Each structure stands twice: as C-alpha cells, then as structure tokens.
Amino acid sequence: MKVLFATSECVPFVKTGGLADVVGALPAELCREGCEARVILPKYSAIAQKYKDQMRYIDNIYIKMGWRSQYCGVFDLKIGDVTYYFVDNEFYFGNDPIYGDISVDVERFAFFDKAVLALLQIIDFWPDVIHCNDWQTGMIPVLLRAHYPYDDRYNKIKTVMTIHNLKFQGVYDKKTIADVCELEDSYFTPDKLEFYKDASFLKGGLVYADYITTVSKTYSREIMSDYFGENLNGLLSAKADRVTGIINGINYEEWNPGTDGFIENNYNLRNFVSQKKLNKLALQKQFGLEENEGKFLIGMVTRLTGQKGLDLVECVMDNIFENGDVQMIILGTGEAQYENMLRHFEWKYKGSLASLIMFDNAASHKIYAGCDAFLMPSLFEPCGLSQMISMRYGTLPIVRETGGLRDSVEPYNEYENTGTGFSFANYNAHEMLGIINYAKKTWYDNKKSWQAMVKRAMKSDFSWANSAKEYIDVYNRI
C-alpha cells in the first residue's frame, strides 16, 4: 500500500498544533506496518536551517495559477523510513507565518494542492491513496477528478480526507477560488463546492474524497449534529457510511517521561512519586510560583482560543484561588482577549498563577512532568493530544466530555477505584469548578487513590500502533 500524506504542517519541520504531531508520527507507524508512506508539505521559510541543509533538490516545473505561471520546485529528505517532499515557491511560502489571512491562504494552498498532483510525475511516486488533511489540502480530491480525468495513473488514485478541526474550512469567494483552481462554474453548486454563496475548500474535499475520517469516534458523531457540525453536518450525515473516527496516538519517543531531555528528573511507574515532586519544585522555581510541593498544581498548555474553554477558566478564576491551596501554570498564545486575561490574573495572584504567553516546547514538557493535574475544558475537541501526553506523564487530566477527551479519559470512580482522570459534561464554569474541587480534594485527602490513578493513566496505551491499523483498514476498504 502506497500512501502520500498531503499536509500544511508536520513535526519536526513546522508545527502550530496537533495536525503537525499526527502527520509527524502516523506515516512512520504505517511504514512499520508494511506500507510505503511518504509526506508532502510546503517548503516554508520557517523550517529550521538544519533541515533545509539536508534537503536534496529534485527538479522544478511551472504551475498555472489563473493567468500566471508560477515556479514550483521540489526537494526531498528522508528521515527513518519516511520520505518527505517539500514544495518550493518563495512567493507563496517565503514569508514567515505558516498561516496568514484567508484571502492570501486561498491562493497559497490552491497552488500547493495543484503542485501535489502535478509533482507526482516528477517524483515518480504513484500512491494508491492520497491522504489529505484539513481544508488546506481539500482541493486535491476535487482537482484529481477535474484536471486528470483521462490519465490512468491518476484515475487509480483514491483519496482520504481527514478532518482535524471542522471549524476551519477555507471559505472564500467563488470567483477567486474558481480562478486560482481553474474550475468551471459547474463545480460551484450547493451539492459540490458552493457554501452559502461562497466556496469551501474543505467541503470540496468532503464531497470528492472516497473516504472521510476524523480524529475520534465521539467527534465523528458530534459533527453530524447542528451544534458541532459547522453547517456541514447535512453533508457529513449524507455520507455517514463513508465517515469514521480514528483516535490519534502520541509520539512515544518524543513524549516519554523516562527519557525526556527537557525535564530535570526522569521517572517511570516505580519512582514517579519522588521524581515528579522534584520536577514540580523546579517548575515552581523557574516560573516564579511559591516553591511548595504541598500545593495542588494545575497546568494548561493550549492555544488561547474560544475552543479551549478559557472563558470558563476566566469565570471562576477567583474561586479557584480563593482558599490559597491551588497553583496554576498556563502556557499558551493566541487571542489578545485571553492573553490579557491571563496577564491580569497573574498580576492578581502573583506566586499562585504563572501565565506564560509564548510558544515554548521545552516549557510544555516541564509542565506535563511537574504538575499534579492538567486542565482541558474544551468547548469542542476533535481529538486533543495534550490530555494524552499529560496522562503519559502521570499528570491527571480534568476535561470536558467532548470529542477525543471523552474517548481518551476515563472518569474517576472512587467506589470502584477506576479511571484515569476527571471529567464534566456541560459547558458550564461552575460544573468545571466542582470537578476541579473534587480533583483537589482527592489529591489532598486520598493520596493512595490518586497515586493508583496516576499509575493507570501512565499505563494507558496512546501509541499509534492500533490507530495505524485502523487507517490501513480504511485504505483497504476504498
């Protein structure tokens, strides 16, 4: 089975969120299962020089973009079993941000999607399946059918469209999309690309892909409802027999408390109690919290957007700190309103709350290792990786029961001594506060149960092996 992953981000080259982690890990796992998996992504200027130095130039072609013709170079680089291809164009990918304004991104990713298909002839890799990820690659299934109808090499290719986050759809005006994608008017009807008078990349991918996957079972059902469906629930319901949810794994080499080079004290199932304490003290010291291992320390590592439940946190922040027995450390960047909210509360609760407004991988590892609990009260969560990482580090998650959070965290049952974390059902700040207080009480008053739960969480299987097998089933089915 030959699979080409088309993606706008991929660890270790560029990352803004979970998509990069997924495409950074799944292809290698598929190779281990006997597939030949390769990856293609843009050659952004933001990619670290050490990777650029290892890339090998293959060739270049020109891609028609409306009335213009654009240079398109291709490089490759092999890491382990996986070959990565990089699409080069300074005009589209030579500036800093990976994602910019939608008006610009529509053309950048139309170019990328065209390039992926055109370059197959240059790299001479004819995949059985092109695996597309999120709206940035949504036009590939459309262009495959629209631009190569009589070429047998292309006709044989099947496509999978994976939704990592339905919120982002690549919606822009029909005329521009028709122009840069070179698609006839007949493609812009409500049963195809049209989306409320505009056109949508993601909808194109969903309509034309042979199979649709999303990143957890619960989210695959949620997106067929009005509440989570982002106006695509009708289409998704109509294709329900071709939609499946496959939970993400995490990269066990990158996220391993036993070998993690970012943390001061490595640990395992036998010595986590003493070593986590030391990591906690180091974390408190580094980020200006009162150095006291006896305080319940909650961490968050997150994009600061409405999706992540920050308005719930804001609503009950004063209640969380009112007894002086809780500390929090929050690492994130994003919307100004949340960044400012966190700065304000850091000022108000100096020594109890550390707000780290930045993207810092090393700090994230220290937080996963040093905290007691990890808060993730998302409004919606297609899969979520942070809760799995925190469980692997023995930091018990407190989550809202939605999407992948519901599928990966088993709520604590104090009577049967089961569970790997804490959860609440409704998007309600006081319901969340109730569960935070319950977790706090368990931590303070019932250390034995807490530690047994830490062990269960650390032992949970979040490796990619099972999910990779499920993807292979999907490839075989189509």
Binding residues for ligand ADP, rule: CB under 6 A, are 17-18, 21, 301-303, 331-333, 359-361, 364, 383-386
CB of residue 333 to ligand ADP, shortest distance in Å: 5
CB of residue 149 to ligand ADP, shortest distance in Å: 36
Peptide bond preceding 12 in cis form (omega within 30 of 0): yes
Separation CA 303–CA 335 (nearest Å): 8
**Which residues, 6 or more positions from 264, have their beta carbon under 8 angstroms from its beta carbon?**
278, 279, 282
- Cβ closest to ligand ADP, residue 16 vs residue 176: 16
CB of residue 243 to ligand ADP, shortest distance in Å: 20
CB of residue 74 to ligand ADP, shortest distance in Å: 28
CB of residue 348 to ligand ADP, shortest distance in Å: 22
Taking CB atoms, the residue at the shortest distance from ligand ADP is: 18
Residue by residue, DSSP assigns 175-226 as: HHHHHHHT--GGG-STTTTEETTEEEHHHHHHHH-SEEEES-HHHHHHTTST
CB of residue 361 to ligand ADP, shortest distance in Å: 5
- Cβ closest to ligand ADP, residue 137 vs residue 386: 386
- Cβ closest to ligand ADP, residue 305 vs residue 449: 305
Alpha helices in 330-464 (DSSP H): 336-348, 361-370, 386-392, 403-408, 429-445, 447-459
CB of residue 399 to ligand ADP, shortest distance in Å: 11
409 burial class (0-12, 13-18, 19+ CB within 10 angstroms)?
A: buried
- Cβ closest to ligand ADP, residue 224 vs residue 247: 247
CB of residue 311 to ligand ADP, shortest distance in Å: 16
CB of residue 359 to ligand ADP, shortest distance in Å: 4
Nearest in space to 369 (alpha carbons), one of 248, 275, 473: 275
Two structure tokens written together for 473: 């089933």
Backbone angles phi, psi at 294, to 5 degrees: -85, 0
- Cβ closest to ligand ADP, residue 27 vs residue 299: 299
- Cβ closest to ligand ADP, residue 89 vs residue 386: 386
- Cβ closest to ligand ADP, residue 192 vs residue 303: 303
Alpha helices in 191-335 (DSSP H): 201-208, 217-222, 233-238, 272-286, 310-321
Please report the sign of the dihedral spanned by the C-alpha atoms of residue 298, residue 304, residue 306, residue 307: negative
- Cβ closest to ligand ADP, residue 4 vs residue 23: 23
Separation CA 204–CA 323 (nearest Å): 53
Separation CA 190–CA 18 (nearest Å): 31
- Cβ closest to ligand ADP, residue 265 vs residue 364: 364
- Cβ closest to ligand ADP, residue 185 vs residue 358: 358
Please report the sign of the dihedral spanned by the C-alpha atoms of residue 383, residue 389, residue 392, residue 394: negative
- Residue 132 contacts residue 205 (beta carbons within 8 Å): yes
What distances in angstroms separate CA 369 from CA 264, 277, 320, 346, one per listed residue? 9, 9, 22, 22
236 burial class (0-12, 13-18, 19+ CB within 10 angstroms)?
A: buried
- Cβ closest to ligand ADP, residue 66 vs residue 229: 229
CB of residue 468 to ligand ADP, shortest distance in Å: 18
Strand pairing of 171-172 and 198-200? antiparallel
Running DSSP on this structure, what letter comes out for residue 262?
T
CB of residue 89 to ligand ADP, shortest distance in Å: 26
Separation CA 230–CA 203 (nearest Å): 11
CB of residue 245 to ligand ADP, shortest distance in Å: 15
**Which residues, 6 or more positions from 477, have their beta carbon under 8 angstroms from its beta carbon?**
211
Separation CA 218–CA 232 (nearest Å): 17
- Residue 215 contacts residue 383 (beta carbons within 8 Å): yes
- Cβ closest to ligand ADP, residue 115 vs residue 389: 389
